Structure 1
Amino acid sequence: MSPLDSYRRLFGLTGPAYVVVAFIARLPLAMSQLGTLLLVSGTTGSYGAGGAAAGALAVANAVGAPVWGGWADRFGQRRVIAVQSVVGSAGLTALLLIANSAAPWGWSAVASAVTGLFLPQVGPMARVRWRPIASRAGRAQPRLVETAFSYEGAADEASFVLGPAVVGLVISVANPTAALGVAAALLAAFGTWFALHDTAVLAHAVARHGGPHERGRLLTAGLVLLCASQFVIGTVFGSVQTGTSVLATDDGQPGLTGYLHALLGVGSVLAGLAMAALPPTWALPSRLRWLAVLLLALSVPLLLVGSVGTLVPVLLALGVSVAPYMITTFTLGERITPPTRVGAAMTLLAAATGLGYAVGAAVAGRLADWGGHTPAYAVTVAAGALAVAISWSGAPLLGRQPIASGGRARTPAAPESRPSGIPLD
């Protein structure tokens, strides 16, 4: 079955409306960080204040996401995501009102943190829904689930390209207040729609049928290793964005920063969609190892970049390794986690990515103050080297993980424990 046929069959299980709603519902999170940065910076005249507010939102979201994921596993996505969407939308509205008032900027940071706690991680929650959706496909289920994760990885990347672009577009015709207002409106409408969709009931039905033994296991050694892998990819995002901003500014074209960073997403989206064509016999731990090597190899040319022109092909190429690496870690995380805890696991991996972004941006920023864009990009290369170390040293551990998804927590030693389509070792 070709990748196009796989996607056609996958989307046929839900209909196009769900796919569109689930994509648009993740845009507010992608818009909120940049929107907050520009809004608070513009109203206070301080990039430090804007950065503090945006950072508070990102860190609070990373801390809160696994908690909401656990509650979604327990109480169902409908109730949890509906509350997040309504309260998160109200929080964004409150933030833009506070930022435009005479209140000290610290109140904007507090509002940003509270808002960040409630913003839903739609991408991870959508991943949780695909296994019960694909169960309608019978024996084709394992391959369709992997196709679904390929799509979700590409959709996440596309949202973090399109989200900032929407912010820039709204600001160009209005102002940062309007941009954050658009994010609030999208979250209220499409976040709630995503929460109430029938697929949310399917996901909760799977979680309710897990046994007592399955409910108690989330933070396995394998999942911790995968969180470290996602922390590394977050570091790549943060350091690349910082280095690119410095290079564009030094080149006299600071307005190109967003467009240049989007190039990373373009290559990533295309590679993510192409993941459906990979042979199912290529075991996931092995795939993660070699994708880490590719990430490192494609990041090294950043150290040779000296202008915006030479940066363009390097970012496009680097993006080819990003989505496949993330798709593989999320797929592994879903495979080794009991169905009663998949929501918590997916949001935990997303939270690790967000924390990695914050650390990567902070470290790269400090180094950029000292030596410009090249030391900032050195953080990206170091992250690639760390990805190689984690994936290769952790391969035996991942190979020993039981396959827990679908309600089957079996040891990998038994040949029949490996579902067709996605081998673990």
Structure 2
Amino acid sequence: MTLTQYPPTSRAGAPPAPGSDGPTLVEAMGRTYFPLAFVARLPFAMMVVGVLTLVVAGRDSLTLGGATSGMVGLGGAAIGPLVGAWADRAGQRRVLLATAAVHSVLLLALTAVVYSSASDALVLAIAFAIGATSPQVPPMSRSRLVGVIRSRLPAGRRPAVLSRTMSYESAVDEIVFVFGPFVVGLLAATLGPTAPMVAAAALTALAVGTFALHPSARTTTARTTPAASDPGVASGGQAPARELFRPRVLVLVAGFVGVGLFFGSVLTAMSAYTGDAGHAEQAGLLYGFMGIGSVVSALAVSAFPARFSLRARWLTFAVVLLVGAVVVAAAPSTGVLIAGLLLAGLGIGPSLVTVYSHGSERSPDGRGTTVMTMLGSAVILGQSIAAAATGALADTVGTSAALAVPVVAAGVVLASAAANWRLTGR
């Protein structure tokens, strides 16, 4: 697939002349791009928690609420990669506009159906459709950025800029995934349980629609082949779909399922922990400590020396994640539990950055958005499964059992990192 560049709007946006340092990434993308991409992520982060809040309030059933949020995750995991593949073929603009329109309508439809006499089956079906049509802003943003870095920046600067960019994108995801549930709670507490869904629908239509129309949507990414004479020029054609199922790609997906399992199990376990103390509303605050550690460590990745290889980084920080999870599970007090969450966050951030960097390297020709969407969908799938399973375990066995689930999730991440070590050359 040929890498299409959008027309520059200024001298700074023009392709770099031979021997010049070229534009910065901000100049190449445009100064409005990064704030816009941040806001456009919010509906995705609000979706699962917003659906759970709405259904529990409207149907007075925690079981149905958990099942409904799980269906959202299942829809995103099952259809999200297909949406990414569609974007690789048809372009992001068309796909984002279509999914944003349908997704906004479905969010409003669920809000109406939950408070009607419609069956639970219809609620679950709409929830699946909401997940299936969720606009894949995070992976599409990464795909755009990788494409611009490879096409518009001088070859000598690309590795460092790519590392910093993946660090930034992972940190933004962490901030949004912590801030999104907070926004849902604030809106639900002040305006009612339907407010988060209405707000998410409006944000999807406005912010995601604007993101779709941004000039960078005309840039499609493709992985450069080793035989290419210029590392900034992509090879023609699109790799067959079977290339997406190579072990070097699937091990990344498995690792992100583990990350999603960790996110979902920690949030649910914190709900059980604070609920035992009579302060269930404080679960998000405890969860935020893990987000703090993750954001800080994700931003620090760009300072790592080149000799600290990607495969070594993932293995190292997967161990840090596991140690943090063990501290959380065995914590004798809230202070120690918070320390474990901070430590686990320090392991999560670099793991996210590293896996996304691996994903950008290993994306088959013309399949960059698909791979990034597969990784994002894997997180949502793991999160949904863990939230439902950990909640059931907390209800039937107790909070101590729920606190042990993050250890298992961290073990999945570590096993994937070890497998990646064996699959990756020096």
| TM superposition score category, shorter chain reference | 0.7 to 0.9
Secondary structure of residue in 1 paired with 2:239: helix
- Say whether the 8 Å CA contact 1:92–1:184 is kept in structure 2: yes
Q: Which residue of 2 aligns with 1:386?
A: 412
Secondary structure of residue in 1 paired with 2:84: helix
CA–CA separation in structure 1 for the residues paired with 2:306 and 2:325: 27
- Say whether the 8 Å CA contact 1:131–1:141 is kept in structure 2: no
Q: Which residue of 2 aligns with 1:418?
A: none
Q: Alpha-carbon deviations, 1:254-290, whole Å to 9, x = none?
A: 1101222122212111111111111123211111111
Q: Which amino acid aligns with 2:291?
A: G
Q: Which residue of 2 aligns with 1:260?
A: 286
Q: Alpha-carbon deviations, 1:301-354, whole Å to 9, x = none?
A: 012224444422321221111121011111101101124011111111111112
Secondary structure of residue in 2 paired with 1:119: coil
Q: Does 1:189 align with 2:206?
A: yes
- Displacement of 1:166 in angstroms is 0.8
Q: Which amino acid aligns with 2:113?
A: I
1:206-221 matches, cutoff 5 A? 210-212=235-237, 214-216=239-241, 217-221=243-247
Distance 1:338 1:172, change over 3 A: same
Deviates more, 1:73-82 or 1:358-367: 358-367
- Say whether the 8 Å CA contact 1:247–1:308 is kept in structure 2: no
Structure 2: gaps (5+ residues): 1-22, 225-232
- Which one has a larger percent helix, Structure 1 or Structure 2? 1
Q: Which residue of 2 aligns with 1:155?
A: 172
Q: Alpha-carbon deviations, 1:42-62, whole Å to 9, x = none?
A: 111111121121111111011
- Say whether the 8 Å CA contact 1:91–1:115 is kept in structure 2: yes
Q: Alignment length, in residue pairs?
A: 393
RMSD: 2.0
- Displacement of 1:375 in angstroms is 1.6
Q: Which residue of 2 aligns with 1:403?
A: none
CA–CA separation in structure 2 for the residues paired with 1:261 and 1:17: 30
Q: Does 1:234 align with 2:249?
A: no
Secondary structure of residue in 1 paired with 2:367: helix
Distance 1:246 1:74, change over 3 A: same
Q: Alpha-carbon deviations, 1:146-179, whole Å to 9, x = none?
A: 1111111111111111111111111122011111
Give TM-score, length-normalised by structure 1. Answer: 0.88
Structure 1 counterpart of 2:120, from 78, 96, 105: 105
Q: Which residue of 1 aligns with 2:90?
A: 75
Q: Which residue of 1 aligns with 2:313?
A: 287
Q: Which amino acid aligns with 2:131?
A: G
Q: Which amino acid aligns with 1:44?
A: R
Give TM-score, length-normalised by structure 2. Answer: 0.87
Deviates more, 1:138-147 or 1:382-391: 382-391
- Say whether the 8 Å CA contact 1:146–1:331 is kept in structure 2: yes
- Displacement of 1:119 in angstroms is 0.6
- Displacement of 1:212 in angstroms is 4.0
Q: Which amino acid aligns with 2:83?
A: W
Q: Which residue of 2 aligns with 1:136?
A: 152
- Say whether the 8 Å CA contact 2:293–2:344 is kept in structure 1: yes
CA–CA separation in structure 1 for the residues paired with 2:392 and 2:236: 49
Structure 1: gaps (5+ residues): 1-7, 400-424
CA–CA separation in structure 2 for the residues paired with 1:276 and 1:13: 20
CA–CA separation in structure 2 for the residues paired with 1:274 and 1:186: 31
- Say whether the 8 Å CA contact 1:143–1:280 is kept in structure 2: no
Secondary structure of residue in 2 paired with 1:394: helix
Structure 1 runs, 4 residues or longer, greater than 4 Å off: 204-209
1:18-417 matches, cutoff 5 A? 18-134=33-149, 135-138=151-154, 139-203=156-220, 210-212=235-237, 214-216=239-241, 217-399=243-425
CA–CA separation in structure 2 for the residues paired with 1:389 and 1:99: 41
- Say whether the 8 Å CA contact 1:232–1:356 is kept in structure 2: yes
CA–CA separation in structure 2 for the residues paired with 1:168 and 1:386: 30
Identical columns (%) = 36
- Say whether the 8 Å CA contact 1:296–1:384 is kept in structure 2: yes
CA–CA separation in structure 2 for the residues paired with 1:205 and 1:284: 21
CA–CA separation in structure 2 for the residues paired with 1:289 and 1:304: 23
